[in-house]
Amino acid sequence: SDTARVSSEPLFTKGDALWAGAFVIGSVVMFQVDDNIDRWVGREKIQESDFIRRGAEIANLSKDDQVMLAGALVYLTGRIAKKPTLADIAWHSTEAVLISSIVLTLVRGSLGRTRPYVTPDDPTHFKGFEGFKQFEYRSFPSIHASANFAVAAVISGEIKRRWPGRLRWVSPVLYTVASFPTVSRLYLRRHWASDLVLGSFAGIVTGLKVERYHHTHPGNKLDKFFLGVRAGPDGTARLVLFEHRF
């Protein structure tokens, strides 16, 4: 059993709004240096490095759809092998990636910011709602960044809850790994630096909130269906493996 109890505290606070506002403003301010960063990354010395290019192409494979597929496979493995902790972490990670991807798809589709290789000298080129039609206008924010940082945030939250003594070294490793596919988008000129900053923030917030919600609201409908979690008579969460028939 999970010892978490139903929480009456709000999921989002004024502090969250302040942080969100700070990152949005910071990202907009970064528009002023996005082209300088893009030109620095586009230098011949960097672009012609086989080592950097191979690393960027490998890291770039960690896309939102691939991350969700991996999460789904791990989740099924956990359910079949009757490993509730594995299934729990995989499900919440996949959910966080899905939520952040949907929200950011709506945002960047509406804003229609062009990618660096389309308008290399103009990071402020926007065409409203064009992002829903063309890939080249889906730059801001980055879903690649949000997906990888969402997973890192969920796993960090789970470790803090279950094995707090390991958080000190595991969490930095997770966020460092998440930064590789994020930076690869900058090198491949698929995103401006400001896209990555806001996308990373969105992923972290989504991951932390998803993890916190499920573990402070035992018996919620999603966990009930995917994990068989029930709220006990004392408010604690109880896990029932394979109660559902698939």
Contact at 8 Å (CB) between 196 and 185?
yes
Q: How confident is the model at residue 107 (pLDDT cuts 50, 70, 90)?
A: very high
d(CA 189, CA 199): 15
Contact 242, 79 (CB under 8 A): yes
Using CA atoms, how far residue 207 sits from 63, 96, 169, 193, in Å, is 16, 5, 19, 21
Cα 3 to Cα 76: distance, rounded to the nearest angstrom: 24
- State the Cα–Cα distance between residues 160 and 155, nearest whole angstrom: 9
3 state DSSP class of 3: strand
Q: What value does the mean pLDDT take over residues 102-112? A: 97
Structure letter (DSSP) for residue 133: T
Say yes or no to pLDDT of 240 above 70: no
The pLDDT tens digits of the residues spanning 16-63 come to: 999 999 999 999 999 999 999 999 999 999 999 999 999 999 999 999
- Under DSSP, the state recorded for 241 is T
* Overall average pLDDT of the 65-71 stretch: 97
- As a whole number, the mean pLDDT across the chain is 90
Structure-token pair, residue 46 = 């960097």
Condensed to tens digits (0 to 9), the pLDDT of residues 89-98 reads 999 999 999 9
